[in-house]
Chains A and B, each alone.
Chain A
Amino acid sequence: MIRGIQHRWPASSTAIHHLLYKYYDRHFPVKDAKTNISSSPLALLHICMEAAVEVHQIQLQVLKPVAAAAAAAATATGKTLSKFSMLTRFHAGYFRISLSLCGQALLWKTLIEPSIDARALRAVVSRLPSFVFVLLWSLAFLTLLALCFLYVARCVLRFRSVRAEFAHHVGMNYLFAPWISWLLLLQSAPFLRPNTNGYLLLWWLFSLPILALDVKIYGQWFTQGKKFLSTVANPTSQISVIGNLVGARAAAQMGWRESALCLFSLGIAHYLVLFVTLYQRLLGSNSLPAILRPVFFLFFAAPSMASLAWDSISSTFDTPCKMLFFLSLFLFASLVCRPALFRRSMRRFSVAWWAYSFPLSVLALAATEYAQEVKGAVANGLMLILSVLSVVVTLVLMVFTAIKTNDLLPHDDPFMCSFNNMQ
C-alpha cells in the first residue's frame, strides 16, 4: 500500500520517506520481522488504515508544537520587533474586510440608483443622506488602501512568508481578494463613469493580475505540479472564480463585451470544475480548519456573482441569470439550516468572520437585480430581507472588529502557523 502511494507521489520529499520509515521501524522492528503481515488482505488493510491514522497523528503532533513554538517565538520577539511582528501575522486573509466593505459599497450604490425600483426599500433609502454612501465608499477605500499598504510592506519585508502563502492551498486564493476589492470599488465609485478612460485603465490594472493568477493557478490544476485540484480544492478556491466574474461584470459595464465574455467563460468553466470537485468532498474541503468555516458562505457567492456578471453581459436578467440566482439562494438556505457547521468558528472572534459579509452582499445584489426584473412582492421581500441581513451582518462585524482589536491579529492564527511550518 505504501508502495502504491509512493508510486503515485514519487515527488514526495525525503522527509516523508523518513517519516514512513520511522513508522515502519516502530511497528515492524527487526526482531519481529517475521510477522506475517501479508497473511490476509484484511490484515493488510488494517495495517494500512493504522498507518494512515498514525501519519495523521504524527502530523498533528508535529503541528501542535510548531504552532506553540511559533506563538511563543512571536511573543518573545514581539517586543524587540514589534513593528515587524505585525507584518508576520498579517496575511492576505485580511482582505476579507475590504472585500466585505466594497461589497457593501456596491450594494448601496445599486440601491440608491434611481433606476432601481426598490419599492420596499425606497422609504429607508430616501431618508438617508447621500453622504452616508460616500462615507461608506471612503471607508472601504481607506481600508483597502491600508491593507494594500500593509501587504506591500509584507511583500518587501517578509517575502518568504508571502511565498509560503502563495504555495498554501487556502492562502493562495486570497491573493485574488485585493484585486476583487479594487474592481468592486471601481464599479461602485461615485465619481467615475464606466465609459471613461480612467475606468478602462483601472480595469486593465486590476484585471491583469487576476488573469495572471488564473493562468498560474488553473494551469497548475490541470497540467502538472504538486497542486492537484483534488487535493487543494476547498471553498476558498471559489474566490478565484469570483475574481473572474467581477472582472467580467466591470468589463461589461464599460461596454467591453468580448473581454467580459472571456472572463465570464473562464470563471464559469472553472466554477463548474470546482463545484463538482467540492461536492465530491475530496480531501481539500476536509482540510479546512474549523475556524475557517465561515468561508463556506462563498458557496453561494460564486453563482450570485455569475448571475450578476451574466446580467451585465446580456443586459437583461434572463433565464441563465435566474437559474444561477436560484442556485445561489438554495445554497444559502442549505447553509443557514446548518448552524452547527459554524458553531466552532463562532467561539472567538477572528478575521474569518468577515467571510460572512461579502457573500451576503453579493446575494443581496443579485436579489436586487432579480426584484428589478420580476417586480413581485416576493422578489421585493427577498431583496429587503437579504439587503437588511447583509447590512446588519456588516455592521455587527465592524463593531466586533472595533471592540476586539486584540483578536484581530492573534498569535495562533491557523494561517500563520501553517505558513511558518511551510517555511
Chain B
Amino acid sequence: MRQLARRRASRVAPRVHSTYSWHRGVSLFKMGREHKGGKILQTPSAGAGVRAASLRDLSAGIRGRFVLASIAGSRESERTRKIRGRDPGFRKFLYSMESKQRLAFHSEKGTGMAMQRNFGEVPRKACSFPEPGKPTPLRGCVPSKLVPFSVPIDRGLKFQMGGKEYQGSSSQSSPDPESCPSLFRYITSKSVAGFDVTPSPRGDPAFAEVPEATDDDIQAQTLCTPSLSMPIEMIGPHHAHSISISMPTTPSAFHEEHSKAVLENENGVAYPTGRQTHHPISSTAGLLQQKQAKFHSQPLPIGNSHTNMPPDTKLDHLVRPQQMPRNSRFKDKRYDSFKTWSGKLERQISSLRGKPQEPEEANDSKSTKPEAVPADRFFDALEGPELDKLKASEELVLPEDKKWPFLLRFPVSSFGMCLGVSSQAILWKTLATSPSTSFLHISPTVNLVLWCISLALMGIVSAVYVLKIIFYFEAIRREYYHPIRVNFFFAPWIACLFLAIGMPPSVAATLHAALWYVLMAPIFFLELKIYGQWMSGGQRRLSKVANPSNHLSIVGNFVGALLGASMGLKEGPIFFYAVGLAHYTVLFVTLYQRLPTNETLPRDLHPVFFLFVAAPSVACMAWAKITGDFGYGSKIAYFIALFLYASLAVRINFFRGFRFSLAWWAYTFPMTGAAIATIRYSTDVKNIFTQTLSVALSVISTIAVAALLASTVIHAFVLRDLFANDIAIAISSKMAKSSTKDDGRILASSSDTADVEATVDGHLLPVLSGEPMI
C-alpha cells in the first residue's frame, strides 16, 4: 500500500505558470506533504480557508474538492474549521450539500464517511514534519498526493475542478512573495537532484528562468524557522495574480488523464487542455515530475532521476502545446485520437493541394492511441438514464467547451429516427389494408409518402454514419463499447427490416428471399457477439449491462421472423423466433428484477421504458405470421404488451421534465408496434372495443411521432443543439480519482470481488431502502 501511495504520488506534477508561482507552487506542494503527515496547519487567522486544505483532505481526491469549494465560499473559516474535525455539524453540512447541490460538492455518495477514513497512512519517519529551527530532512520524504496547480496571472482566486469553477476573492492579507519560507528553498536546492542541472528539455526560456531564480533565493536565505502559515499566505492574492488550481481528479494519473482545466494566460484567453499541457512554462511541471519521481522513502543517490522516468516520454508532449496558438480547425490535434488516420489523410490532402507538409511529431501516434475503455468506466464516469451525462468528477478526452466536428457529434442513436418513421409507414400500411380498420378509409398514399420519407432519411443517416466510420473509427469503437449505445447498432438493420415490411404494394408486391438473408446476417453476427457477452460473463455480463435499451437487441429477432414469415420462409423465422424468445425471457426477468448490481436503470421513468412494449408486440405478430393464425401464443404475447403499455401509461407524471434526446425516436416504435399489433388483433377479434383500441393506439403513436418530429425540428433548426457534444464517447479510460480506488473501488477491479461487493450490498439493502426486516 505504501508503495502504491508512493507511486501515485510520484506521478503527480504541479503545473506552474510563472516564476512567481513557482515559489508558491512548491510551497503548496510542501503544504500538501506536511498534511500528509497528519499535521494540521495552525494558522490563527489568515488563510484559514486554505488551512482547511488540511491533511488528506487535500491529498485525497474528493476531499480536495470539499476543501477548495469551501475556500471559495465567503464563509470559509467557519466551514473549514469544521472540515478538520469530523464533527457532526460538518457531516450534516456535507449531507445537506450532497442533497442540495451535487455539482458543487460532487461528494460522490457518502463522502461524510470517506472523510473519516485515513487514506494511505504515511510513515511518520518518512514524512517528518519540520521542527522549528531544524532543517527538514527531506531525504526520503514521501511526497503527498499533490494537488497539481497552476498559477496564472490574474486577479482573484480561481479554483477549477471538474469543470466547475469556484471563484472567490480572497480578502486575507498575505506577505510578500519574497519572504518565502526558507525551508522551501532549502528543499528545492539541496534535495532536488538535478534541479538546476537538468538541461532544459526544449530550450525553453521559461524553464531556464525558474531554477536560476530559485537558486539565487537559496543562496540569499539562511535556514530559519519555517512559518507554518506561510504556504497558505503564499497563495494569497497579494500580487494581483490569481491562483488557478486546476485539479485533475486523479493526482495519480496525471499523464493518463486528460485534464480539461482551463489554463489562463494574461490575456484571459482560455486554452482548454486536452491530453497535453498547453503552456510553455508548464515545462517546469515536467521538471517537478522528474523531481518527484525520485522521492522514495529511502535515500537515493543523486542524479539517477532519469532511470525512473525517461524524459522523452514525459516531456515530449509538453512541448507540443507551443504549437497550439496557430491551431486552425483542421490542425487541431485534440480530435486526433478519434480520427481513423490521426489526421494523416488530411495532411495528404493538403499536400496534394500543394501546401507544405508540416513535420510530424514522432510521438504523435504514441499519445493518440487510446486503449479500449472497460465497461465499468462507462458506469463510473457517466450518469443519466442513457448514460450520456458526465459526472462532475469525470473528465473528457475531447475539449468540453467547444463544438466538436459534426461527425463526432453524430451518435448511432440517430438511426432511431429511421425506426420511428419507417414503423409509421408500416402502421399506415396496416391501417389502409386491414379489414378491421377499413371503415376509416385510409388512402395507401400515406404509406407511400411515409415510406419514401423513411427511405430518404435512412439514406441520409446511413451516409453520414458511414462517413463517421471512415473518419472517426475510434468514436465508433467507443460507441460500441458503451453499454447502452451498443444496442443501437441493431437500429439500422431493424430499420431496414421495417422498410422491407412497410414497402408499399405499389412499389413491390413481393420481395426476394435473398434480401431477408442479407438483412438478417448482420443482426445474427451482432447477436452472436452481444448474447455471447451476456452469457460468458466478463465485464459486460447481463446483470451489469441490463437496461431497457437491451430490448433493441431482442426486437431484431422478432422483426426478422415477422418479415421472413410474411415472405413465405419457414425455418429461418422460427430459428430467429426461438433465439429471440429465449433471450427475451432472460432479459425480461433480469429487467424486472432490477438487481442492485444493475446500476444503469434510471430512477426516473424515461421513454426508454417503452421498449418493454416493443418485443412482445412484435413477437405476437411474428408468431401469428409463423403459425398462420392469431392463436393463444400470439394472444399471450399481445396481452403482455398491452399490460406493459397500460402500466406505463398510468404513470403519466413520469414523462415530464426530460431533456430532449435523439434517442427518443427509438422509443416511439414500440407504441407504433403496439398499435399495429392491436390492429392485427382486432382483425381476429373484431368488435367495437378492439377497433376503438386500435384507432386510439394508432392516434397516440402518430401524435407521439409528430410531437417528436416537431421537437426535433425545433432542436435542429431553432435551438441548433440537436447534435450536442457526444459526451458518452469521450470519457477517459482511466479512473478519474485515485481516492475512489482507495475506498472500495479497488474491490471492483476483479470480477470476483465485485460479486462479493454485490453480496455485501445486498445485505445492507433493506436498511438502505428503509425497509424493516421482520
Contacts and interface: CB of A to CB of B under 8 A. Distances in A.
B344 interface: no
Contact of A33 (B86, B596, B654): B86
B593 interface: yes
B757 A1 contact: yes
Contacts of B269: none
Contact of B756 (A45, A262, A269): A45
A287 interface: yes
B773 A63 contact: yes
B593 A16 contact: no
Contact of A266 (B119, B639, B654): B639
A264 B743 CA distance: 49
Give the interface centre of B88, B117, B654, B743 by most chain A CB atoms within 10 Å: B117
A418 B770 CA distance: 12
A7 interface: yes
Given A38-B119, A262-B639, A1 B650 contact: no
A214 interface: yes
Contact of A215 (B112, B639, B647): B647
Contacts of A233: 593
B78 to A, nearest CB: 19
B772 A45 contact: no
A3 interface: yes
Contact of A34 (B86, B121, B773): B121
A7 B639 contact: no
A48 B760 contact: yes
B332 interface: no
Contact of A261 (B112, B603, B636): B636
Give the interface centre of B119, B602, B605, B762 by most chain A CB atoms within 10 Å: B762
A216 to B, nearest CB: 8
A36 B744 CA distance: 13
B773 A228 contact: no
Give the interface centre of B612, B637, B771 by most chain A CB atoms within 10 Å: B771
Interface in A146-198: 169-170
A223 B648 contact: yes
Contacts of A15: 770
Nearest to A269: B640
Contacts of A60: 773
A313 B651 CA distance: 31
Interface string A352-374: 00000000000000000000000
B761 interface: yes
A231 B597 CA distance: 12
Given A6-B768, A17-B112, A20-B110, A52 B747 contact: no
Contact of B772 (A63, A218, A226): A63
Interface stretch (B41-49, B212-220, B404-412, B584-592): B584-592
Contact of B113 (A21, A56, A261): A21
B1 interface: yes
B651 A223 contact: yes
A415 interface: yes
A55 B119 contact: no
Contacts of A20: 110, 113
Contact of B767 (A25, A49, A59, A258): A59
A222 B765 contact: no
Interface stretch (A120-128, A271-279, A342-350, A391-399): A271-279
B768 A230 contact: no
A422 B110 CA distance: 25
A261 B632 contact: yes
A266 to B, nearest CB: 5
Given A6-B109, A21-B112, A277-B593, A45 B753 contact: yes
A52 B767 CA distance: 10
Given A39-B121, A229-B592, A223 B647 contact: yes
B118 interface: yes
Given A33-B118, A38-B743, A55-B767, A8 B761 contact: yes
A334 interface: no
B109 A7 contact: yes
Contacts of A272: 585, 588-589
Contacts of B116: 24-25, 28, 33
Contact of B593 (A19, A218, A229, A421): A229
A9 B765 contact: yes
Given A3-B110, A20-B113, A265 B639 contact: yes
A270 B591 CA distance: 12
Given A36-B121, A38-B120, A219-B648, A273 B109 contact: no
A340 interface: no
Contacts of B1: 36, 38-40
A219 B648 CA distance: 7
Nearest to A227: B769
Nearest to A56: B763
B464 interface: no
Given A5-B768, A12-B768, A34-B118, A218 B647 contact: yes
Nearest to B740: A3
Interface string A98-115: 000000000000000000
Nearest to A223: B605
Contacts of B767: 12, 16, 19, 55, 59
A118 B637 CA distance: 36
B681 to A, nearest CB: 9
Interface in B81-136: 85-86, 88, 91, 95, 108-114, 116-121
Contact of A228 (B110, B593, B760): B593
Interface in A24-81: 24-25, 28, 30, 33-41, 44-45, 48-49, 51-53, 55-56, 59-60, 63
Contacts of B95: 14, 17
Contacts of A34: 38, 118, 121
A4 interface: yes
Interface string B613-645: 000000000000000000010011111101110
Given A20-B113, A21-B113, A215-B650, A9 B768 contact: yes
A267 to B, nearest CB: 10
Nearest to B597: A8
A30 B648 CA distance: 50
Given A5-B764, A219-B650, A289 B774 contact: yes
Given A1-B743, A219-B650, A418 B772 contact: yes
Give the interface centre of A5, A10, A21, A283 by most chain B CB atoms within 10 Å: A5
A248 to B, nearest CB: 10
A310 to B, nearest CB: 9
Nearest to B685: A258
B744 A221 contact: no
A141 B638 CA distance: 36
A40 B760 CA distance: 17
Interface in A236-258: 258
A36 B685 contact: no
A124 B245 CA distance: 91
Contact of A282 (B91, B604, B635, B762): B762
Given A19-B767, A223-B647, A287-B773, A4 B592 contact: no
A107 B762 CA distance: 42
A265 B743 CA distance: 47
A130 interface: no
16 contacts: A3-B114, A4-B744, A4-B745, A6-B110, A7-B599, A12-B767, A38-B120, A39-B121, A44-B747, A169-B771, A215-B646, A223-B647, A229-B594, A272-B589, A283-B763, A314-B632
Given A20-B113, A60-B773, 16 more contacts: A3-B111, A3-B743, A4-B109, A4-B757, A4-B761, A12-B767, A36-B120, A38-B1, A38-B119, A38-B120, A44-B744, A48-B760, A219-B648, A223-B605, A223-B654, A228-B596
Interface of A: 1-17, 19-21, 24-25, 28, 30, 33-41, 44-45, 48-49, 51-53, 55-56, 59-60, 63, 169-170, 214-215, 218-219, 221-224, 226, 228-231, 233, 258, 261-262, 264-266, 268-270, 272-273, 276-277, 280, 282-283, 287, 289, 313-314, 414-415, 417-418, 421-422
